[in-house]
Structure 1
Amino acid sequence: MARQDALLRLHKSLITRRTELRKRLGLELEELAHVKHSSASGDAADAAFDASGEEISSTLAELEAKELAQIERALRRLKAGTYGKCEVCSIKIPVARLNALPFSTFCVDCQREMERDGGWSADYGANGWDRITDGDPMGEREVRISDLESDLSK
């Protein structure tokens, strides 16, 4: 029963964090839109400072959006009854790990294996290219700039 209580607490914390992230993302996106539409004034240093601020805000918003997606996925897993089970080996993820990282989908051993392999399963070959190509990604062919087509009219 202790695990069930812990999962209920984690559910509540996931909901709280989701709400917080939604608010923050809304404000950050609104702020970015406002900055882009505000009139440009000042010299090149001001423009560079504004651009770097926009870059930082955009990066933070991207990271928060990724966290929000992971939280949404964890909440879907809770509803489906699969939350707290490793997606690879199906063992129960320890509550201590879920407390530290509530949207964990792998046990520690499987997570280490994924990180060691660079996230690629052994089923896809040593370097992962077999998954998206017919084997050797470049073959014997040399690629030249003239081989690439690009539309620069846009």
Structure 2
Amino acid sequence: MDQRNQTEIDSETRSAHLLALLTERRERLVARIRQALHERREESQMRDAPGSHGWGAAPEGNISLAMVAQQQQLLAQIDAAIQRHKAGTYGRCVGCGEEIPLPRLQALPFAQRCAPCQEEWEADMR
């Protein structure tokens, strides 16, 4: 097998691995969001039940909703990464155009920038 074919296979393997990682993270996240919303509905029903006098209205509910909002934002980032994968642009840094290192994508599968470009982008945002 020549070097070009091996590179294509390695690239395909990397791509398949990363898509599986994105998909698995997405599934776990959707399950967590559904569970949190289900628990929130149950708490609301208990609080609204006759004779409860609203005792279930704890400030923790606001934290739960904030966490769901964060998880939904993360879900949107993962969905965008899946779309980039379908478009063939996933795994390339939007800053420098280089391939984002695999360990970074394994840690943050929705990353759009390599670490140096991300640091520069964040510094510019301040």
Q: Which band: TM-score by shorter chain? A: 0.7 to 0.9
* Distance (Å, rounded) in 2 between the aligned partners of 1:20 and 1:97: 20
- The answer for the alignment partner of 1:63 in structure 2 is 70
C-alpha deviations, 1:1-48, integer Å up to 9, x for none? 3343122111111111111111221121122123223335368xx55x
Percent sequence identity is 35
1:1-154 aligned at under 5 Å gives the runs 1-39=9-47, 41=52, 46=55, 50-118=57-125
RMSD over aligned Cα atoms: 2.0
- Alignment match, 2:4: none
The structure number with the bigger radius of gyration is: 1
Structure 1: give runs of 5+ residues left out of the alignment.
120-154
By percentage of residues, which structure has more helix?
2
Asked if 1 retains the 8 angstrom alpha-carbon contact of 2:93 and 2:113, the reply is yes
TM-score (norm 2): 0.78
Q: TM-score, with normalisation over the residues of structure 1?
A: 0.66
Q: Which has the higher contact order (CA 8 A, sep 6+)?
A: 2
Q: Deviation at 1:113?
A: 0.9
Q: Deviations over 1:57-98 (max 9, x none)?
A: 112211211111111011000000000011122221111211
Name structure 2 gaps, 5 residues minimum.
1-8
Alpha-carbon distance between aligned partners in 2 of 1:63 and 1:39, rounded to the nearest angstrom: 25
